[in-house]
Structure 1
């Protein structure tokens, strides 16, 4: 019985360490992607004269249909 508990604990530790490794790798990749997206956004804005989200800008007009 005691041997089984130790084996289960060791297996659980290995799985925990593997999970930690995978989550760390995901975090590193996510950070790199965020950095690249930030750089691309800045580069795109400078190429377009600094405008961002142009399609979402409000013009001050309301689109009203006829009654």
Structure 2
């Protein structure tokens, strides 16, 4: 072999790849970050929903049926 460093690097990369899917592999928990404008978005959504409820046409009253 001309480049033993490449061989060692390839073995190391292969070991990391193979061992990463093992059940006992270390796990890093993903941090859930809140969006910076989350309260503003929620307030806008509530306001738009209320506006849509006011603008939406109401159904016509049902005509009396003769039986």
Q: TM-score range by the shorter chain?
A: 0.3 to 0.5
Q: Whose radius of gyration is greater, 1 or 2?
A: 2
TM-score after normalising by structure 2: 0.32
Query: More helix per residue: 1 or 2?
Result: 1
TM-score after normalising by structure 1: 0.32
